[in-house]
Amino acid sequence: MFERLQGLKGRGKESCFLWGPRQTGKSTLLKKLFPKSQLFDLLLSDEFERLLRRPELMREEILSRQGGTGPVIIDEIQKIPTLLDDVQWLIVNKQVSFILCGSSARKLKRSGTNLLGGRALRYELFPLVSREIDTFDLHRALNHGLIPRHYIHQAPQPLIHAYIGDYLREEIAQEGLVRNLPSFGRFLEAAAFSNGAIPIYKNIAQDCGVSEPTVKEYFQILQDTLIGRFLPSFQKRPKRRVIRSPKFYYFDVGIANTLLNRKGLTPGDELFGHAFEHFLFQELIAHRHYSGKEYPISYWQTTSQLEVDFILGDPEVAVEAKAVKEVSSRHLKGLRAFCEEYKVRRAIVVSLDKAPRTTDPIQILPWKEFLRQLWDGEIV
């Protein structure tokens, strides 16, 4: 249904990891790209049980297969970390190519398992982006989120609630990532109030009834399981006093909406503006990886509250998200201040304006035009 931009470009015959949150479409993508590949799906209970009990079975089956085409695929590799020893042996001694798919490397790292000693490339699959959807609907994206099943569903809220429950049950409880699951569930909701903002660990700890170090560990779990990420602050040679703490974002705007009980977002609503900024962050993060450019993304904020949402490069482009139908001078203060302090190639406000315009040195781009330029490689 969707033509995914992540095609594992540049992999050739090299082995690789493909990471991504649950239900972003990793398994579907791999079945489409490599329909004849040998597959070990560790989500299947019988497959998981037999390989957990006798991991050498995988090696024996791979060696006995004749005429196989494409890489060997192991889905949800983090469930049985010991398989990586045989994977490495097969790569080194038999030149077998693997794609190792999963939603979290945390268990692999914690178990002390090797991650193939640099022998495998790393790729990520994100929720859908605008370029992958033929008839992209901004209103639907901001309300439903961009996990494929959620985006296309007419009433996704039960699905999203189930997704959060499955994450707690399967990713957190089964993998033994936390001891106190109820407190972690409360943390997910408390962390949502920091979405697009700087988390105040002390306040979140009080809300969840845990210590500040525990809250920091919980945020690390969100990062390791790809459910959230931090956006660092831009601090290069500041002339003004700047905020140095990172901001936090959940990986999908629909997940944040549900945890915050945000419904029926419409233009003109302050919450619509928050979701709009979050959506643009998702697009930038995905573009950075899918394009292969891997450029830095940060935000800039002074202690006097001048702010730019996204700084791309070092710095190359400054981007401000404004979900308004007509950008005015009051919306440009942060960008103007940043341009006074740093030389950038482009300064852009992404808005709901009907047509592009320029108020030197700032370009005002309708969101559709910004996304077209981004995915056509014209922004960075």
| Residue 54 placed within a domain | yes
Q: Does residue 154 sit in the same domain as residue 284?
A: yes
- Helix H or strand E encompassing 19: strand 16-19
Q: Does residue 83 sit in the same domain as residue 155?
A: no
Q: Does residue 170 sit in the same domain as residue 222?
A: yes
Name residue, tokens 């105040």.
Answer: 200
Over residues 69-98, mean pLDDT: 92
In the chain, the percentage of residues whose pLDDT exceeds 70 is 96
| Residue 29 placed within a domain | yes
| Residue 151 placed within a domain | yes
d(CA 286, CA 216): 25
Position 230, amino acid: F
The domain boundary, picked from 124, 142, 171, lies at 124
Q: Residue 30's domain is classified under what CATH number?
A: 3.40.50.300
Give whole-number Cα distances, 83 to 58, 174, 223, 294, 374, in Å: 8, 18, 24, 30, 39
Which two three-digit tokens encode residue 139? 């209103």
Q: Over the stretch 203-231, which tens digit does the pLDDT of each residue have?
A: 999 999 999 999 999 999 999 999 999 99
Q: Does residue 224 sit in the same domain as residue 159?
A: yes
The domain boundary, picked from 124, 159, 177, lies at 124
d(CA 137, CA 151): 9
Q: Does residue 291 sit in the same domain as residue 178?
A: yes
| Residue 220 placed within a domain | yes
Q: Is the pLDDT of residue 119 over 80?
A: no
Q: Does residue 201 sit in the same domain as residue 78?
A: no
Number of domains into which the chain is organized: 2
Q: pTM here? A: 0.94
Residue 123 β-bridge partners: 18
Q: Over the stretch 179-200, which tens digit does the pLDDT of each residue have?
A: 889 999 999 999 999 999 999 9
Q: Does residue 105 sit in the same domain as residue 225?
A: no
Q: Does residue 49 sit in the same domain as residue 174?
A: no
Residue pair 187/204 in contact by the 8 Å Cβ criterion = yes
Q: Does residue 116 sit in the same domain as residue 134?
A: no
| Residue 4 placed within a domain | no
* Domain that residue 192 falls in: 130-375
User: CA end-to-end span of the chain, whole Å?
Assistant: 28
For CA atoms 281, 285, 290, 295, the dihedral sign is: positive
Q: Does residue 203 sit in the same domain as residue 327?
A: yes
Q: Is the pLDDT of residue 111 over 60?
A: no
Over residues 107-113, mean pLDDT: 63
Q: Does residue 20 sit in the same domain as residue 138?
A: no
Q: Is the pLDDT of residue 112 over 70?
A: no
Q: Over the stretch 137-153, which tens digit does the pLDDT of each residue have?
A: 999 999 999 999 999 99
| Residue 51 placed within a domain | yes
Q: Does residue 93 sit in the same domain as residue 241?
A: no
Q: Is the pLDDT of residue 169 over 90?
A: no
The domain boundary, picked from 100, 124, 148, lies at 124
